[in-house]
């Protein structure tokens, strides 16, 4: 497996926001570990300490939690060029309240909390990069909350296919239905329209 492909992929992702010298690229990449997860393999489960932050190079991840009644609630999906994590557990160094599972074979780059802290303290522009990524994530989360509170299921479905058309080909209908908060039958009716 050619790790230089993933090094280039991470570099292209970061340099959309900040510039890096060749030496900085080498240093940044040296603090990451490449990991391969099989389909249905968990990156982490609920109620464990989490010391890694994941960047998806290839594949698809699902972040979710199970409520007290045993019902699954999907927080989100992460595809190539996205970061995913139980952010509260990672940043506060506490146990996870969510689970992260590979929906496809997934190749991810992970960085430990200590390497993350080292990186942002030694390269302030990387801290700026992560801050910009956090802003984007907060904005997306707020939009999803507003959408779930103010739009009907049909409009949420239409927003999803506009925003993430690749999900329709890569995710089972049952997972899309859970994400949208509708039954699979309702989702099937949307597909016929």
The domain that holds 27 is classified in CATH as 2.60.120.10
What is the number of other CB atoms lying within 10 angstroms of the CB of residue 72?
A: 12
Residue in 166, 159, 168 with CA at minimum distance from that of residue 191: 168
**In sequence order, which ranges of 35-123 are alpha helices (DSSP H)?**
87-92, 113-122
Query: How many domains are contained in the chain?
Result: 1
Q: Is 189 inside a domain boundary?
A: no
Q: Is 74 inside a domain boundary?
A: yes
Q: Is 180 inside a domain boundary?
A: no
Residues of the chain with pLDDT under 70: 1, 191-193
Q: 24 by DSSP, 3-state: which? A: helix
Q: Is 88 inside a domain boundary?
A: yes
Residue 193 has a pLDDT of 55
Environment class of 85 (CB within 10 Å of its CB; exposed 0-12, middle 13-18, buried 19+): buried
Q: Is 26 inside a domain boundary?
A: yes
**In sequence order, which ranges of the chain are alpha helices (DSSP H)?**
3-14, 22-30, 87-92, 113-122, 124-150, 153-163, 165-170, 173-180, 184-192
Per-residue pLDDT of 113-143, as tens digits, reads 999 999 999 999 999 999 999 999 999 889 8
Q: Is 111 inside a domain boundary?
A: yes
Q: Is 175 inside a domain boundary?
A: no
pTM over 0.75? The answer is: yes
Q: Which domain holds residue 140?
A: 3-150
Q: Is 17 inside a domain boundary?
A: yes
């Amino acid at each position: 497996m050619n790790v230089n492909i993933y090094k280039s992929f991470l570099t292209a992702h970061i340099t959309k926001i900040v510039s890096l010298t060749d030496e900085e690229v080498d240093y940044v990449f040296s603090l990451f570990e490449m990991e391969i997860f099989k389909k249905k393999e968990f990156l982490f489960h609920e109620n464990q300490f989490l010391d890694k932050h994941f960047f998806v190079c290839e594949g698809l991840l699902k972040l979710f939690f199970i409520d007290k009644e045993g019902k699954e609630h999907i927080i989100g999906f992460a595809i190539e060029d996205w970061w995913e994590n139980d952010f509260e557990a990672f940043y506060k160094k506490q146990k996870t309240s969510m689970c992260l599972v590979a929906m496809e074979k997934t190749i991810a780059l992970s960085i430990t909390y200590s390497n993350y802290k080292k990186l942002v303290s030694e390269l302030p522009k990387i801290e700026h990069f992560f801050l910009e990524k956090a802003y984007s994530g907060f904005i997306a989360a707020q939009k999803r909350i507003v959408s779930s509170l103010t739009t009907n299921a049909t409009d949420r479905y239409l927003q999803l296919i506009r925003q993430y058309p690749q999900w329709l080909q890569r995710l089972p209908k049952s997972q899309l239905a859970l994400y949208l908060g509708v039954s699979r039958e309702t989702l099937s009716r949307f597909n016929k329209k």
